[in-house]
Amino acid sequence: MLHEKIGQMLLLGWQGAGAQGVNAQAAALVDELAAGGVIVFTRNVGTPEELRETITSLQARSLALGAPPLFVAVDQEGGRVSRLGPPHFFRPPSAREVGRTGDPGEARAAARAIAGQLRPLGLNWDFAPVLDVNNNPRNPVIGDRSYGDDPQLVAAMGIAAVRGFQEDGGILACGKHFPGHGDTDTDSHLALPRIAHGRDRLGQVELVPFRAAIAAGLAAIMTAHILFPALDPALPATLSPRILTGLLREELDFQGLIITDCLEMQGVARGWGTPEAGMLAVEAGADILLCCHTWETQCALRDALVRAVRDGRISEARIDESVARIAAAKAKWVA
């Protein structure tokens, strides 16, 4: 039972080309790790028919084991972060292109179009919109993934995109990267960035789009592997109870799903290792742990969480809290 509960908190990726369908790693994510969700990358995508068959087969495996249906997620932001693209799929415009129109209706229409492409394939969760305010021209990872450098514009576009995904398209949206990845000059895939702004400035800029999207009913938020000393001098947002529980849950009153950015990224893996980072993230308040690539790391992450509960480091009540939130989201968006 504990194994299955922990599994629901894992959203995992697999290696392999789309035409291979459900290969050994993909099958084992469901059969052995009891994963509650999977993420699709370009490496997994063949034709629309192949992708639909792969997702249908994975869902059937989960249901045959008596487990809940899977979250099936993708990073389909538009622009350069589009896992589905030509020749079989259209590539949506980047957030920057949409933001430059100044029209929230364009953001809603773009999100609706993306959802209309994803849902028939069996994808039920898009890791978008990006709610980062792109206010650092040296930022190596956000740039045109953001709607712009004006917090109010990003907020208006983000609200519209959430409605396009969720109300019009019937899939979960996921705002990212909380509490803001815009003002960095370091890529958290490679190292741990640090944003030194004070609490007042964060409230006036970085938090504005997240606060607005939460009020609009945003279903999920992805954490940032970034150190914010004004919020927590020791731990990056993904691992910080002060940020995930104190700020996001209690101060901003977010009741949806909290998912980490990938725990194999060097922003946390280098300093803590993926298994330890996963345990800290759960202790901080994360509901779902994203681990996208390596089978051995995925197994180590699952095993560490099971041990942490059995040894008393993490209470089973803490696990149950996230599992209940996941079940409610699946009942609304996936079943």
**Tens of pLDDT along 106-153?**
999 999 999 999 999 999 999 999 999 998 888 878 999 999 999 999
pLDDT of residue 178: 97
Look at residue 20 and tell me whether its pLDDT is greater than 80. no
* Backbone torsions φ then ψ of 271, nearest 5 degrees: -90, -30
Instruction: Give the separation between CA 8 and CA 36, rounded to whole angstroms.
Output: 4
pLDDT exceeds 90 at position 23: yes
pLDDT tens string 206-231 = 999 999 999 999 999 999 999 999 99
Q: Name the least confident of 18-22, 261-265, 271-275.
A: 18-22
Structure tokens, 28:
């084992």
Domains recognised in the chain with CATH numbers: 2-333 (3.20.20.300)
| Contacts of residue 4, Cβ cutoff 8 Å, sequence gap at least 6 | 34, 67
Contact status, residue 207 vs residue 180, Cβ threshold 8 Å? yes
pLDDT at position 21: 78
CA distance 330 to 299: 24
Q: What is the pTM of this model?
A: 0.97
Mark 140-178 as b/e (b = at least 16 C-beta within 10 Å).
Answer: ebbbbbbbbbbbebbbbbbbbbbbbbbeebebbbbbbbb
Please give the Cα distance from 267 to 57 (Å, whole number): 34
Percent of the chain with pLDDT over 70: 100
Predicted local distance difference test score (pLDDT) of residue 182: 85
pLDDT at position 295 is 98
Cis peptide before 129 (omega within 30 of 0): yes
| The pLDDT of residue 54 | 95
What residues have CB less than 8 Å from 181, skipping those under 6 apart? 132, 139, 141, 142, 188, 193, 224, 226
- Tell me what pLDDT residue 186 has: 73
**pLDDT, the chain, mean:** 95
Calculate the alpha carbon distances from 214 to 42, 158, 162 in Å. 29, 10, 10
pLDDT (mean) for 20-43: 95
The pLDDT value recorded for residue 155 is 98
Report pLDDT for 187: 74
Active site residues: 189, 261
Residue 270 has pLDDT above 90, yes or no: yes
At 45, list the tokens.
């995508």
- Assess contact for 148 and 154: CB atoms under 8 A: yes
Strands ordered across the beta sheet of 10-12: 257-259, 220-223, 172-178, 125-126, 71-74, 37-40, 10-12, 289-291
The mean pLDDT of 12-28, rounded to a whole number, is 89
Percent of the chain at pLDDT above 90?
90
